[in-house]
Amino acid sequence: MDVLGDLAGGFGAALSPENLLFAVIGVTLGTLVGVLPGIGPALTVALLLPLTYNFEPTGAFIMFAGIYYGGMYGGSTTSILLNTPGESASVVTTIEGFQMAKQGRGGAALATAAIGSFVAGTISTLAITFLAPPIAFLARAFQPADYFALMVLAFVSVTALIGRSLLRGMISLFLGLFIGLIGIDNLTGQARFTFGVPQLLNGLDVVVVAVGLFAVGEALYVASRLRHDREDIIPVKGRLLMNGDEFRRSWKPWLRGTALGFPIGALPAGGAEIPTFLSYTLEKRLNPRAPWGRGAIEGVAGPEAANNAAFSGVLVPLLTLGIPTSATAAILLVAFQIYNLQPGPLLFTNSPDLVWALIASLYIGNVMLLVLNLPLIRIWVKILAIPRALLYGAILVFATLGVYSLSNSLIDVFVMYLIGVAGFFMRRYDFPVGPMILGVILGPLMEAQFRRALQISEGDLSVFVTRPISLVILLFAAAALFLPYLPRLLGRGRRLTVGTGSED
């Protein structure tokens, strides 16, 4: 496989004037939504899905990729200047970044975050370029039982590792699986959970669910907090770039953060939260003399690089296996389905022009984002002054018009707001939305692979544990479910042992 030749062809497509315009729109929108607290790339892509039905696929995905990367860049701004992480992966950045901003070093913190994101994004895109094709080739050996096991791993890992409560995560997941079952069963032709409503026979449109969950739910939640949450923006003072000492202290954390973020993000059980915390812990151990808790620049450089590299790594299981491991990746999977494309092993064979143009656009988008972020930091900060009421009111109008335009159906609008109310209560009571949207998207696919596996094995359930690939994946799923709770169980066991010994 001529990777460099394919990549050169991808650059030829990505550098066309039309696709360059899509890239500029994507990275600008992505940075904008990353800067605004509470509006992430998943919400933005979900809102734009109804408007891109008639777009040419390559341009649409270049724009979506720009939004995805731009959101990662812009998310550091609210973490540093507002002490408000826009995404869970940006929580670690607030620890040192906000302290730097209070000391008048906000410009240096934003600069190390932007340059670190550029370094991590470029290196991880190189990794995608050379690793994704062989992974896709190996994945051709997968059979239905293996794909079923892989989806179980995605469900378990996202549910166990996102959010504070496994029970809440499971409730969110099963609610998504229930929504995914609504409609006519393709095998038996029977209607399931339609409650006598003819418009539900074709199931709920995933775009309607995504817009309701992310846009409407978020808007309602923010509206409920307008009188309680007060946000004071710390102005960016002094120079916007790092001095020599700050650059010297940042470049190694950039590389180490990238090395941690990409492989963890590329795992089906990956994500960006774990590598950012690992990067912060690693930098504390390697730089004990840094002013930790008082504005250590290493605590911004490493986690931001790990964050961006992990989100790049998320594209590996999405493109090669068709498995999303984050909310934004799940929305991107919906976009693929809109264009009748199925990410997975055959994507590189059936749609090579699209895949390589998308990968090439990641390189281009990284350069665009660096050019946008460093000189325009003061402008992005002013965007934070937009009144929340106007902003989220506009999001509700945009969401309503977009969903109604899908099929000119008021039922879709009603369902969107119903799911939005459910999304509001999920946010209010700390239920993660990631497992729910994953259940809606992957639930029908998992059911189809489960049935195919049973048809091949003539109803023998042991097919899921007798195939080596599926058995190993299911063991990983079990580990992802129980390992987070192992230290707590071991600690409880030790306390019981000590208590028993003291009584003796």
For 223-267, the pLDDT digits (tens) are 787 665 555 566 666 666 778 888 888 888 999 989 988 887 777
Given this model, what pLDDT does residue 480 score?
72
Determine contact, residues 430/165, Cβ cutoff 8 Å. Answer: yes
Length of the chain: 504
CB-CB neighbours of 34 under 10 Å = 30
Q: Percentage of the chain surpassing pLDDT 70? A: 85
Q: If pLDDT is split at 50, 70 and 90, which confidence band does 39 have?
A: low
pLDDT in tens, 270-318: 566 678 878 888 888 888 888 888 888 888 888 888 888 887 788 888 8
CB-CB neighbours of 386 under 10 Å = 13
Given this model, what pLDDT does residue 227 score?
65
Q: What is the helix (H) or strand (E) element at residue 183, kind and residue range?
A: strand 183-184
CB-CB neighbours of 244 under 10 Å = 7
What average pLDDT does the segment 140-158 reach? 81
Q: 83 pLDDT exceeds 80?
A: no
Q: CA torsion, points 323, 69, 95, 35, in degrees to nearest 10?
A: -130
pLDDT in tens, 174-222: 898 888 888 887 777 788 888 777 777 777 877 788 788 877 887 888 7
Q: If pLDDT is split at 50, 70 and 90, which confidence band does 398 have?
A: confident
Distance, CA of 407 to CA of 207 (rounded, Å): 12
Q: What is the helix (H) or strand (E) element at residue 279, kind and residue range?
A: helix 273-286
Q: What is the helix (H) or strand (E) element at residue 191, kind and residue range?
A: strand 191-192
Structure letter (DSSP) for residue 198: G
Q: If pLDDT is split at 50, 70 and 90, which confidence band does 78 have?
A: confident
Average pLDDT in the chain: 80
pTM given for the model? 0.75
Question: Which residue has better confidence, 369 or 375?
Answer: 369
Q: 376 pLDDT exceeds 60?
A: yes
DSSP 58-70: HHHHHHHHHHHHH
